[in-house]
Structure formats: C-alpha cells, structure tokens
A and B are shown apart, each in its own frame.
Chain A
Amino acid sequence: EDQVTQSPEALRLQEGESSSLNCSYTVSGLRGLFWYRQDPGKGPEFLFTLYSAGEEKEKERLKATLTKKESFLHITAPKPEDSATYLCAVSRAGGSYIPTFGRGTSLIVHP
C-alpha cells in the first residue's frame, strides 16, 4: 500500500526565515510526486510534479526536490502570503494513476 507521511504537521516561521517541509513516501515504483498548496477553506492548488530522484523544480520562493524516499519543499525567505497547508501526494507507476495524499503541513509565516 502506498504511504505518504508529511512532517512537521505544523510549522511557524518568521518572515524571511527559510525552512523545509518533508514528504516521506513508500510506493512500489514512482510515477509522480505532487505538491499542492491549500489555503483555508479552499481547494488545493497544484504546484509541482517530480518524476525521478535528483529532480528539482522552482516557483518563486518554493523549490521542490526529490530523492528515492522523500521530497523536500524548501521555502526561501518566506512571506506571510506563503502561509497555507502544503500537501504532498504520490502516484504509482503501472497501476492506478490516482494519487495518495499525505495529511499536509500547515505553515504560518509571521510578519
């Protein structure tokens, strides 16, 4: 069974204080690893798909990296508007493409 574990559950940062969110996964052959951002009371918004170990993708202050066992979402010099819940998900190669989601990391950035 595919598993996705995100840590920490919650993270509080000061504006400008860089940090990383972790997504550990277990899947028998990775098709893709996904990162989403979810604002309170809204649906998740797609950020990135990573396919293979060593791959990196960036968007503004966010950079996602991937190894064979985990992915990191690095947030550089965060701003209050980066406050949200960040969700990680994986889909399995050769099987159903339906992704398995983690429980998310709630990020609060204080001004």
Chain B
Amino acid sequence: SQTIHQWPATLVQPVGSPLSLECTVEGTSNPNLYWYRQAAGRGLQLLFYSVGIGQISSEVPQNLSASRPQDRQFILSSKKLLLSDSGFYLCAWSAIGRENYGYTFGSGTRLTVV
C-alpha cells in the first residue's frame, strides 16, 4: 500500500533562519507531488506541485522553493524565513491520471517562525 511520510511534525525557527521540510512517498512510482500551506481560518493554499523529477511549478511567488531530487521525494526550502511563513505545511500526492480519486496528504508540519 502507498504511504506518505512528512517530517518534522513541529518546528520552531527564528526569523532569518533556513528551512528544509521533507516528504517521501512509498509504494508507488512517478506520483504527482504537492506542497500546501494552511493558515488559521484559511483554506489550503497550493505552493508548489511537481509532475515529475526536476519539474516544479510554483503557484505563489515568495521566499520558498521546492525541489524533487528523487522520484518520490519532495523538499520545501527557504534560505531566510519570515514571520509570515508560519503555518501548517502539508505534502500530498496523487497518481497520474487518477487525480479525481483525491489526494493523499501527509500528517503535516506545524512551523512557527519567532
């Protein structure tokens, strides 16, 4: 069966520090991968999505970046965090051609920038 792992679960980082959040998927190959951010009282905001290794599409211009170094690995990074980067970050995957079967989300990372 397919599983998605996301870590860390919680993170407190000072303003200006770097960030690296990692997500891996097991049990499938060539998945579509997504990074979302969820702020309190707001909907899910798509940050990046990837339909293949090395292919990253950005939805929101900001100080975050994403990389997909391996087929089932998706990394969210920042060189210098801002206070506004605080939020709940979620990784998700879907099978190519089966997007209507819904996304499978990871357990999320609660990021607090102080």
Contact = CB atoms under 8 A, between A and B. Distances in A.
Does chain A bind chain B? yes
Interface of A: 4, 31-32, 34, 36, 41-47, 49, 51, 87, 89, 91, 97-99, 101-104
Nearest to A50: B100
A97 B32 CA distance: 11
Interface residues of B, number: 22
Majority SS at the chain B contact face? mixed
A66 B51 CA distance: 30
Contacts of A43: 6, 90, 92, 105-108
Contacts of B103: 44, 46, 99
B99 A97 contact: yes
Interface of B: 6, 34, 41-44, 46, 49, 59, 90, 92, 99-108, 110
A42 B43 contact: no
The 10 nearest A-B residue pairs measured at CB: A43-B105, A46-B102, A101-B44, A101-B43, A97-B99, A103-B43, A32-B100, A43-B108, A44-B105, A43-B90
A36 B102 contact: yes
B50 to A, nearest CB: 12
A45 B92 CA distance: 11
A47 to B, nearest CB: 8
A97 B59 CA distance: 14
B108 A42 contact: yes
Given A49-B100, A51-B100, A102 B43 contact: yes
B99 A87 contact: no
Interface centre among A43, A51, A97 (most CB of B within 10 A): A43
Given A43-B92, A43-B106, A44-B105, A31 B43 contact: no
